[in-house]
Amino acid sequence: MINEGDDKFRVVKVIYKQSGYYALGKINPDDPTELDKFVGNFTYVENICENWNKRLGISAEEEMEIVASSMGGQ
């Protein structure tokens, strides 16, 4: 997740050994009526990330390894 300021965070996708991240967002960013379900307070976004990682079988340790590898740490 990334901090967008004003206590708002966004879900991001990180790929093992690939630099950077991909912010998830609305299908149509120009549609003000579309709900951006990937933005919310820290707890909301953390829950989304934890649930997706759990479904994918990714532990907290593996998550940290993936994030570190995306920063050029490996």
pLDDT at 74: 45
d(CA 58, CA 15): 12
* pTM for this predicted structure: 0.82
Q: What is the pLDDT of residue 55?
A: 97
Contact (CB, 8 A) for 14 and 1: no
Reported in sequence order, the residue ranges of the chain that DSSP labels E, i.e. its strands, are 2-5, 8-10, 12-13, 22-23, 39-40
- Note down pLDDT in tens along the chain; length 74 residues: 999 999 999 999 999 999 999 999 999 989 999 999 999 999 999 999 999 999 999 999 999 999 999 997 44
Strands 8-10, 12-13: parallel, antiparallel or unpaired by DSSP? unpaired
